[in-house]
Structure 1
Amino acid sequence: MIPGPRRAAGRGAVVVPAAAVGLALLAAVALALPAAPALASLPQVGRPEVDRQVLLFLVDAVSFEELLAVPEIRALARAGGAGLMSPRTVPGDAGPGAYLTLGTGARSAAPSPRVVAYDRGEPLDGGNADDLWAERYPDRDFPVGPFLLDVGPYVRLNEGRSVPGILTAVLHGARRTVAVFGNSDTEAGRDRPAMLVGMDPTGDGVGGRIGVVFAPRPGGRGGPLAFPIAEPDPDALGGFRTDLDVLSFAALGARIPNPSPWLPAHLTVFDMGDTRRIDVAAPGAPLARVLRERQAALARIGQRIASLVGRAAAHEVLVIVVAPSTSHDMDARKDELTPIVLARGDPAELFPEEGPLHALTSDTTRRVGVVSNEDVAPTILRYFGLFLRAEMRGSPIRVVEEARAPFRLHARHLANRRMTVPIQAGAGVAVTLAGLLCAWLVVRGPRASLRARRAAAWVALAVPPAAVALLLAGHLSTLSYATVVPTVLAITAFGTLAFLPLRRISAFAPPAAVALASILALVAEAGYGWTAALTPFLGGSELDGARFYGMPNVYIGLLLGCGLWVASRLRPWSGAALLGGLALLAGLPGAGANLGGAFTLWFGAGLWAGARTGGRVGVRGLAMGAAAGALGTGAVLLAHVLAPGAPTHGARFAARAAHDLGTVLDVLLARLGIGIDLIARNPLALIPSVGVVALVIVLLRPPGLLRPALERDRAWWDALLVTAVGGVVAYLANDTGPSAAGLAFGTSLAGIAWAALSADEGPPPGERETGTRTWRSRPEPG
């Protein structure tokens, strides 16, 4: 537990409340300075020689609208911009990994929910933090500033993924100073997550104060006074409240007499504390009280941010205000994006009273209004003119003055989050019922009504249009049940029944046309930059941080299945060429930018060529698929490497693989782990994952009930088998394997249902009708 406000401390220091007379005198001297506009007229005596400064304010567990409602923050967004930030971390994170990610530039994990760190000399029961260090490390020098007692767990947990402390290490190497101030301590104990942003690789904060601030007694007699940054407050949620006067006094040097009016460090990290404390205590408190206390805390924080920005020693400063993680009530309404505000310039000009609020973006997301938590560290390094480190996966954030702050995008995100699960559940129920109906009619065979069989066949054919409709609904200007549901039903119905006349040509002309239309819709969506994928109703949103741009994994199986439906109507090598073109659509950096999708489709192209020219799906076809997958994906990776502009995730993967081939195996294992974790969290994801394997077995040795239907058209049979095998490959090649395999399972199953239930849709096997003419085509090979 944290010592109380009057508990005796070691080494002669005495902890006193911030309201004591001594602190009042210190605050009067150190804090009664003019605000930013008036500082320019002060004498510059003692002003640190700092060319540039970054002030990073951590205001955790607040929503975009809450933070932007603070007048001082809105002013910063006018001078710079505001954005939605993905706070995503990695599996195994206990919570503070979001803070660690800010300092590593790569998604990271923390081993425990609280970050226990200490100040040098911080009072503890019966001693102080120096005693604790000396007991643990008798042969090591004391740290310079605040410290983690053991940084090892953070390093081990993120091995091969990120480098804790890398931001501070790079800045120190460039002779830039770093300081960390503030904490999020609660009644549960110490919690100093800002240390994860500003520490070096040894866990040393080097500069700053995170627990207590020492000051000499008035008159200079006796030991120093220790002023806690977080004052116990039994009336506040969390039991503590940041004393912003003490925080500022510490950041300004904690000197008396002759206090400095300037912040001296190149990078200063402030943990404002109160909003995180409020959220920690939120589960047991009324929501109205949580919102009320958070609003009051934000008002205090906004005023203090403006005051501290005015104390920057440099004439040019970069100010970043960010919420590292979501709050409990944000989680309850499925708000997966936190706010970030960034402004750069003269401190006296960063709080304009009028003007539009601009947007932020980065090359990591390639979406206006959206950035990643991996972008913060690269932004700081680039601001200081330093090279980005290869271990960092983010990109510098930049202001888009032509775009407005993403309030509308956030509202669409929230609407999508509210509706997507019910709509996907409804679609899942509909597909399940349709599948059961088709299965029952197949089992009944000729005993079932011909009209029912035909109707069920067309219902099965609706799978691709329905999947496309659930994506395109993301383009609707208003996202509500009243707009989304009718749109999805209309697109599905039209995309299926529009090809009803084609049944006069052949039994397999309608599915080929449906598939071609679905492919063209995906091509058009790629031309629009996959903007519908920001708020889709099938699969995950590109705002959730897994994939910010390009083709979502859920459409890999659809592109594969539809491509093979069309290829079954073409000559073997023409079909393979079509699949190769779709692989480029899926994988090239300016199109789908989906490496797993590219590999899956290249594999499908090779396997299709082998199956159609060799007469069966066998070892030869699998070898051709593997070769096509390797060579085709290699070409796509080369395109990523050579593409102009910022490197894509594909280019970074190619660079890592060229340096260490073991990276490929590590990535594959990590992707399999993510897929397994997805199944563990949602057992229904097991259905397509196991289903594609089951379909491969069924299609290799079809039961007597299905064999006659499949033998109607060998090319169609092969297309369904290659789709199922491709679904297995898609699972193995992508991080969200069940999602990637899902529509491969769906289109293969729908194709089986069509073959079994549409026997009377076209002319007899081997014949083709056009108007009144009928002729017999050459038999299929094999």
Structure 2
Amino acid sequence: MQLKKITCIVGILTILLELSTSAEGIGAQNEPAIHKQDQSKQVTVVSIPSLSFLELRSEQLAKLPHFRQVTEKGGVGAMNIRTANRGMRDVYLSLGAGEPSVGIADVQAFAAKESWRGASILDVRKRYVGENTGEVSPRSEADLLIVPDIVRLQHLNRKLNYGPGLLGSLLKEYGIHRSVIGNSDWSKRTSIDEDKTRRYSPMMLMDSDGFVDSGFIGNEIMTSAVDRPYGVATAYAQLLELGGKSEKPNLQLIELADLNRLYLDKAHYSEARFDELKGQILKEMDEWLGQRIARMTDRESIWIFSPEVHSEAAKSKAYLSPLLHYTVDSQAGILVSDSTRRPGVVTAADFTSTLIDEFNIPLPSGLNGIPLSTTREVNALAGLEKELSSMQTIYRSRPLLLYPFVTCEMVVLLASLLYVLWMKKKAADSLRAEEWKGGAMPGRKIVHMFLYSLLVAPVVMLLLGLWVLPLTNALGIEGAILWMIVLFIAGCLLCSVLLAKWPLSSGMIWLAYGTAGVLMVDVCTGSHAMKYSLLGYDPMIGARYYGIGNEYMGVLIGALVLAVTAALQRRHDAVRPTLRGSGLGAVTARAAAPIACFLLVTGCLAAPSLGANAGGALSAAVAFGVAGVHCFAGDRWRELRLGRGAALLTVLLALGFGALWLLNSADSPAAAARESHVGRAFHALRAGQLDQIGHLIERKLRMNVHLLRASVWSKVLITSLFVMAVLVLRPRGRLRVWQSKNPYWMYGFSANMIGAIAALLLNDSGIVAAATMIIFVAVPMLLLRLQELEAEIETGILISSSNKAVSQP
């Protein structure tokens, strides 16, 4: 019967999975009114592969006056360019598609007049696509740039909302001329060295047929230079001449690849020679940039970015790419995006949307990116560099602190379980041999301390986030990491020792309410601690930029359920008979505060300006609803039979979804103040974009399956479930004893268990939320069993595995 109940619960949650997943992750932008095209608008995008923030430090910019001019008078940002393969071909393709895409190494672009392996590019194109080559620009075919193998890219990225070429197709539709100049080739191309061709930049501006209106990506923009990497260098004079103004609105992409070639060929140079060449290459780029800026008019703008950072930056975990914006009348500032809500940090999809918005083209619904804006800020680059250093500190700390801690969680859980089993066996053997000595269990305080440390660790990690920025600024990244490890260990041990001195119920109440309270205060005051917490955001990989992530979502729900039920259990133990109602009408004043807390946290998770976690709001509705019904609705509802349980879950999820709709719909004041990805998803739902929702559900399920296999959190979840199973099954009947003796503990445990199942199914990384939530079941269970075993040992009466009493003679 229990198996049937669980099967029904899982089935209902799976059916309603679409409600959550459709509200988290799909971006939909309201289509603005179509404006008349500015016939003089010229946008230049300069791509510098291997450029990083290491080249934009103050001592380096002192030698690069024109780069300094752009950073001091323009907008400065750090763009997340993370893709599956961390390569420039993926980044160019992703920028063109408006979402993460996957490129292929041997799928590149060529001029129509070029040949490939003995055949002309036009013939290769016809070979793969047929005679119908699509509608091309009015210019002659000789001016075209072509990706002849476009079909392979389309097949590989067939599950995207729009697919490769979205940006180019929109520009083409609205009459914007597209051109690309430059390449990353390793030599001047001839018929015998085609393997050194690297022509990926046109994929950013190609249309869905694989065409770019015009460009120069061959030998004409390169010059032979025996003293340079691979014997070639960019012909900057030719580049400046070819990059002239167009007679119509134009978006031009210019790739400067000398720095990239140098880093790829770095192993062949001495350190002194490498530094000399790097300085020379950067100086040449700076001189060209100065000449290009001098020709600008007030209808032009320049964007500078890097499609990949170099190896040294990657080694130091400086993965975010510089993004600079400059116009003749621009003012110093920092780039901001509502996609991240973090000044200076933007996404690649935001950059795509911004380029579309530059020409007043309506953004297509379903596009995740939001056009960037600039907030005035003096010395913006220096402030951004400090922020990036803090992000690097957190990113580099995770493998040194978080991952060992997660492993420690599993070890402590299993070791504590073995301790319980060993102590019980040892005491039982002593009783049978009539050698009973009684007394306290040896090592009990140490076990308690380690178990409490698992529960206090999340809030300690959160509070450490307040120290990351000052520690990094004062001690540097390495020093900050060392001090974070020391403070984390000291904080966990100190809190654990203090909590272990309290009775179990009191310790759980203080710990759980304190954890939930600190989390809520931080979220409601701007998430300053969560931004730098090891369990918080991860801008380096784009996991989350604002709101409550799945790690702390699980902690918040699990802690609050535990706090409420522990408080009720303490009251239950202090007052007889137990405080039980007789029905739904028995909800009295004592239930008002817990229910208010449940509603407040659920609303916080659903609100676009606070938690902004749709799956979390639905998981909270389930966990809090089950806990509230068990604790306050009377005896009839405590035994949730199959039909009643299914009805309850359906109602709770419907209420959760209703809260999301009210707080994130277009008419909501909360959504009007700051729309989140959840709110944009409701626009997509109202637009009937069910195909996108289907793709999203599939992606989320794949993510959970992947994490179940690869993530260390899945091992924590499995370990916790194993420990809980042993505790309730050995000895037999233990569950019934606990349900009778500790009803509110059990209500909390079951509510968190059901909430963990909901979190697992309703989030794309639900395995993480389920693992952090289930800790608030496994650890209290172990502590409860230790307390019970200690009482049994002190009285000399043990319950054996056969459910018979073994007593002191």
TM exceeding 0.5: yes
Contact persistence 1:606–1:626 (CA under 8 A): no
Please state if 1:461 is matched with 2:480: no
| 1:12-23 matched pairs, under 5 angstroms | none
The one-letter code of the counterpart of 1:385 is N
Equivalent position SS for 1:345: coil
Please state if 1:478 is matched with 2:478: no
Aligned to 1:122: 114
Deviations 1:520-552 (A, max 9, x none): 110111023223333322365244312111112
Give the superposition deviation at 1:321: 0.3
Gaps of 5+ in 2: 1-37, 188-194, 428-439, 473-479, 569-578, 581-586, 794-809
| 1:484-563 matched pairs, under 5 angstroms | 484-493=484-493, 495-499=495-499, 502-503=502-503, 507-538=504-535, 541-563=538-560
The alignment of Structure 1 onto Structure 2 pairs a total of residues equal to 679
Which segment drifts farther, 514-523 or 382-391?
382-391
Structure 1's 647 and 276: CA in aligned 2 closer, same or farther, altered over 3 A?
A: farther
Please state if 1:396 is matched with 2:371: yes
Structure 1's 703 and 734: CA in aligned 2 closer, same or farther, altered over 3 A?
A: farther
| 1:342-491 matched pairs, under 5 angstroms | 342-346=325-329, 358-402=333-377, 404-405=380-381, 406-445=384-423, 447=426, 449-450=440-441, 452-476=443-467, 477-479=470-472, 480-491=480-491
Equivalent position SS for 1:110: coil
Contact persistence 1:587–1:594 (CA under 8 A): yes
Aligned to 1:192: 199
Structure 1's 494 and 67: CA in aligned 2 closer, same or farther, altered over 3 A?
A: same
Give the superposition deviation at 1:751: 1.2
Equivalent position SS for 2:443: helix
Deviations 1:338-363 (A, max 9, x none): 111112335xxx7xxxx9x6322111
Please state if 1:139 is matched with 2:168: no
Give the superposition deviation at 1:133: 3.6
The one-letter code of the counterpart of 1:411 is S
The one-letter code of the counterpart of 2:41 is R
Please state if 1:334 is matched with 2:334: no
Structure 1's 596 and 327: CA in aligned 2 closer, same or farther, altered over 3 A?
A: farther
Deviations 1:103-153 (A, max 9, x none): 333x22123135411112125565643343455556235854111113223
Aligned to 1:270: 254
Contact persistence 1:103–1:167 (CA under 8 A): yes
Deviations 1:592-612 (A, max 9, x none): 111121111111123324444
Please state if 1:759 is matched with 2:784: no
**Aligned counterpart for 2:233 among listed residues 210, 235, 241:** 241
Deviations 1:210-263 (A, max 9, x none): 224xxxxxxxxxxxxxx3x244556544554322233223223xxxxxxxx879
Give the superposition deviation at 1:615: 2.5
CA distance in 2, matches of 1:193, 1:606: 53
Structure 1's 125 and 388: CA in aligned 2 closer, same or farther, altered over 3 A?
A: closer
Contact persistence 2:121–2:148 (CA under 8 A): no
Contact persistence 2:179–2:252 (CA under 8 A): yes
Structure 1's 461 and 323: CA in aligned 2 closer, same or farther, altered over 3 A?
A: same
Aligned to 2:43: 54
CA distance in 2, matches of 1:61, 1:617: 60
The one-letter code of the counterpart of 1:525 is D
Contact persistence 1:610–1:624 (CA under 8 A): no
Equivalent position SS for 1:630: helix
Give the superposition deviation at 1:562: 0.6
The one-letter code of the counterpart of 2:612 is A
CA distance in 1, matches of 2:102, 2:443: 57
Please state if 1:741 is matched with 2:764: no
CA distance in 1, matches of 2:740, 2:267: 61
Aligned to 1:590: 609
CA distance in 2, matches of 1:453, 1:626: 43
CA distance in 2, matches of 1:474, 1:291: 37
The one-letter code of the counterpart of 1:758 is Q
Contact persistence 1:688–1:741 (CA under 8 A): no
CA distance in 1, matches of 2:405, 2:603: 30
Structure 1's 118 and 724: CA in aligned 2 closer, same or farther, altered over 3 A?
A: same
Please state if 1:685 is matched with 2:713: yes
The one-letter code of the counterpart of 1:638 is L
CA distance in 1, matches of 2:236, 2:680: 42
| 1:223-238 matched pairs, under 5 angstroms | 227=220, 229-231=221-223, 235-238=227-230
CA distance in 2, matches of 1:689, 1:235: 58
Structure 1's 374 and 663: CA in aligned 2 closer, same or farther, altered over 3 A?
A: closer
Contact persistence 2:128–2:151 (CA under 8 A): no
Structure 1's 733 and 71: CA in aligned 2 closer, same or farther, altered over 3 A?
A: farther
Contact persistence 1:467–1:538 (CA under 8 A): yes
CA distance in 1, matches of 2:357, 2:115: 38
| 1:176-215 matched pairs, under 5 angstroms | 176-186=176-186, 188-212=195-219
The one-letter code of the counterpart of 1:673 is R
With CA pairs under 8 Å and 6+ residues apart, which has the higher RCO, 1 or 2? 2
Contact persistence 1:606–1:629 (CA under 8 A): no
Contact persistence 2:393–2:481 (CA under 8 A): no
The one-letter code of the counterpart of 2:362 is F
Structure 1's 625 and 513: CA in aligned 2 closer, same or farther, altered over 3 A?
A: farther
CA distance in 1, matches of 2:248, 2:265: 35
Structure 1's 120 and 746: CA in aligned 2 closer, same or farther, altered over 3 A?
A: same
**Aligned counterpart for 1:600 among listed residues 619, 625, 632:** 619
Give the superposition deviation at 1:430: 3.9
Please state if 1:85 is matched with 2:79: yes
The one-letter code of the counterpart of 1:116 is Q
Structure 1's 137 and 101: CA in aligned 2 closer, same or farther, altered over 3 A?
A: closer
Deviations 1:620-664 (A, max 9, x none): 335423431232133214312231156321012222233134544
Give the superposition deviation at 1:402: 2.7
Equivalent position SS for 2:209: coil
Which segment drifts farther, 126-135 or 367-376?
126-135
Please state if 1:636 is matched with 2:698: no
Contact persistence 1:379–1:396 (CA under 8 A): yes
Structure 1's 397 and 697: CA in aligned 2 closer, same or farther, altered over 3 A?
A: same
Please state if 1:729 is matched with 2:721: no
CA distance in 2, matches of 1:485, 1:92: 31
CA distance in 2, matches of 1:713, 1:561: 18
Give the superposition deviation at 1:709: 5.9
Gaps of 5+ in 1: 1-48, 213-226, 253-260, 765-782
Which segment drifts farther, 278-287 or 753-762?
278-287
**Aligned counterpart for 1:99 among listed residues 75, 88, 92:** 92
Structure 1's 50 and 273: CA in aligned 2 closer, same or farther, altered over 3 A?
A: farther
Aligned to 1:652: 680
CA distance in 2, matches of 1:542, 1:464: 26
Contact persistence 1:710–1:755 (CA under 8 A): no
Structure 1's 690 and 84: CA in aligned 2 closer, same or farther, altered over 3 A?
A: same
Contact persistence 1:76–1:341 (CA under 8 A): yes
CA distance in 2, matches of 1:558, 1:617: 26
